[in-house]
Structure 1
């Protein structure tokens, strides 16, 4: 074999070896290459997830900043609303002044009791408001003990619901006060806009039951903004029990006396009406006894009970039962002229311990002479 033939054969073998080696690399290296590719893909995925997480963190930081800004704005708005006067958009403010003071009250029949009063009377002044009407009720504490004011039955912001809070009241030197009451000699203005029709009453939240039972209460009625069927007459009746202390000089015996609007029968002022009139009574039972109240010769239309929305249709009753702390609104159609009685059906609630009748919870209901 010549030298050239040997060289050609060597080249052929070399090419075959190169081809075989390439095939082996291709077949044997595929798993390794696939693993490298998977690692690369996983790294890319992790990098992408990291970018997305970072983006989410940025968005959360942005949202948190917006929430903080909104909360600061709301806080500033609330502070502004508390500090600015109630006069808004030229609408007049309904302003009332209540003076909490001590006074001896004549219950009738020679019975007297030392009471806590608003404006020297029991119950306090009857307040009539309208939905949407800016209202300012100024409490003057002329007592020797702390007191406050709560509007029972009204839906109001917490800053005026019963007690002045820190930052909403000021002392005489205009510094914020943290106490949740008015000390003797202090004055506080409760400012609000009633938004819901209501039949409620105002009373203290400090030493609540004691001060209320001694006479600190009065009706607060919120009338609807829109015209509705209105009664011809409207008044409130408070049922309560007053403790009469013994008096050495007067000879008065210590006793508990049931009263309506601070008077005991037969000294309670009569309810007077005319034929065809519609009366509305807001009745509050502040005593510790259940009272079945009946108006002879008439039916009672229950309009609302214990803060409920006006009932439609009205519920007709012969007798209305009031448990302790109950309040009810009833309409009466004056369609039976004469002299009648609105009284408890319980004998022990219309007579005293000595058996004297009438006494306690009985009021004359009569028609005016035409």
Structure 2
């Protein structure tokens, strides 16, 4: 017993010392070793929390991405539905025309050829005849290697139709993006509209692609009145333009500008044929950069409309019509003087070539069919 008392007293002394040491450590904020353990625990907890938050953000992003993809698919389906759905005017058939923009070498006549941009492989493109109130769908196929677009010159249409198929971007010279609207190569777009006013217009690329018009992308689009009390017996569109013939490497021929009517130069322009007593209507478009005084020998020209005007009443009578660049005019001709005549420019340099050879340029035969 006596030997165990000191040991018990020593244990109590050690316990009191340890308690005092712990109190001191508490006052001092804990030992360095324990502080480090606490910091590690806190850091691990914080990292775990951040990991959970990141995982939650990833899940939210995946959800948003899925919603965006669903919305894009819905928009695509809606666009397709809008393209395919019947247009306003229940019971009316839709007048549908397909235009294929493509490159092609065009024979201007007399061995002269030019590399052109064409609609459906021809210059000008197909004539499109519509009626007021007729549901219309013009489908443009871009088979060019560059973007293109479509504008209906002379028709009053909503901005969502007239040459603005979609929005994109194209870099300017200083590499800054700018707003652009076009069909990229290989794209197809359907322009749907209902013409409400009669018009003598033409289709061609929009202003950002206007150079393509000079290279051959144009064609007539004529809107006829719903009720037409004075319909002509014949109707024809004439496009005046200037085409550049490339230099011939083998022949040594120099590059030259050639004036053409409907893609041909005189004397290779197809003759205009009519019969006695017929009324012929001409829609004439001057797409060249020159003023053209056009005269039909042996007849008078009855000006029906000019540059998109309403039909003129009374009609104006002329023996010569002057067309400035970009002018268009509608004239009626009463075939009352049988024979062979000429519809030609009154300017010598527009009906002959640079060597003075006649006919060339803007001269077409106007003749009556043999009865």
Per-residue deviation, 1:233: 0.2
Equivalence for 1:144? 145
Per-residue deviation, 1:228: 1.8
Structure 1 unaligned blocks of 5 or more: none
Q: CA, structure 1 residues 358+34, in 2 after alignment: closer, same or farther (shift >3 Å)?
A: same
Q: CA, structure 1 residues 362+47, in 2 after alignment: closer, same or farther (shift >3 Å)?
A: same
Per-residue deviation, 1:74: 18
Q: Deviations over 1:257-289 (max 9, x none)?
A: 000000000000000000000000000000000
Is the deviation greater in 167-176 or in 127-136? Answer: 167-176
Is the 8 Å Cα contact of residues 169 and 180 (structure 2) preserved in structure 1? no
Q: CA, structure 1 residues 61+18, in 2 after alignment: closer, same or farther (shift >3 Å)?
A: closer
Counterpart Cα distance in 1 of 2:131 and 2:254: 45
Counterpart Cα distance in 1 of 2:106 and 2:54: 75
Is the 8 Å Cα contact of residues 131 and 224 (structure 1) preserved in structure 2? yes
Per-residue deviation, 1:348: 0.3
Per-residue deviation, 1:165: 3.6
Q: Deviations over 1:123-150 (max 9, x none)?
A: 0000000000000000000000000100
Aligned CA-pair RMSD: 13.6
Q: CA, structure 1 residues 66+310, in 2 after alignment: closer, same or farther (shift >3 Å)?
A: farther
Is the deviation greater in 51-60 or in 67-76? Answer: 51-60
Please give the secondary structure, in 2, of the residue aligned with 1:178: strand
Q: CA, structure 1 residues 39+239, in 2 after alignment: closer, same or farther (shift >3 Å)?
A: same
Q: CA, structure 1 residues 170+291, in 2 after alignment: closer, same or farther (shift >3 Å)?
A: closer
Is the 8 Å Cα contact of residues 167 and 176 (structure 1) preserved in structure 2? no
Q: Deviations over 1:288-335 (max 9, x none)?
A: 000000000000000000000000111000100000000000000000
Counterpart Cα distance in 1 of 2:6 and 2:100: 133
Q: Deviations over 1:206-255 (max 9, x none)?
A: 54331000000000000000132000000000000001110112433200
Please give the secondary structure, in 1, of the residue aligned with 2:75: helix
Please give the secondary structure, in 2, of the residue aligned with 1:364: strand
Is the 8 Å Cα contact of residues 343 and 363 (structure 1) preserved in structure 2? yes
Counterpart Cα distance in 2 of 1:308 and 1:323: 16
Alignment TM-score, normalising by the size of structure 1: 0.75
Is the deviation greater in 109-118 or in 18-27? Answer: 18-27
Is the 8 Å Cα contact of residues 306 and 328 (structure 1) preserved in structure 2? yes
Is the 8 Å Cα contact of residues 102 and 116 (structure 1) preserved in structure 2? yes
Q: CA, structure 1 residues 331+28, in 2 after alignment: closer, same or farther (shift >3 Å)?
A: farther
Q: CA, structure 1 residues 113+165, in 2 after alignment: closer, same or farther (shift >3 Å)?
A: same
Q: Deviations over 1:146-186 (max 9, x none)?
A: 00100000010100111114599999999999961000000
Q: CA, structure 1 residues 137+54, in 2 after alignment: closer, same or farther (shift >3 Å)?
A: closer
Q: CA, structure 1 residues 268+24, in 2 after alignment: closer, same or farther (shift >3 Å)?
A: closer
Per-residue deviation, 1:113: 0.2
Q: Deviations over 1:101-124 (max 9, x none)?
A: 000000000000000000000000
Is the 8 Å Cα contact of residues 150 and 203 (structure 2) preserved in structure 1? yes
Q: CA, structure 1 residues 11+224, in 2 after alignment: closer, same or farther (shift >3 Å)?
A: farther
Is the 8 Å Cα contact of residues 83 and 190 (structure 2) preserved in structure 1? no
Structure 2 unaligned blocks of 5 or more: none
Is the deviation greater in 200-209 or in 341-350? Answer: 200-209
Counterpart Cα distance in 2 of 1:345 and 1:136: 40
Alignment TM-score, normalising by the size of structure 2: 0.74
Is the 8 Å Cα contact of residues 93 and 133 (structure 1) preserved in structure 2? yes
Is the 8 Å Cα contact of residues 277 and 334 (structure 1) preserved in structure 2? yes
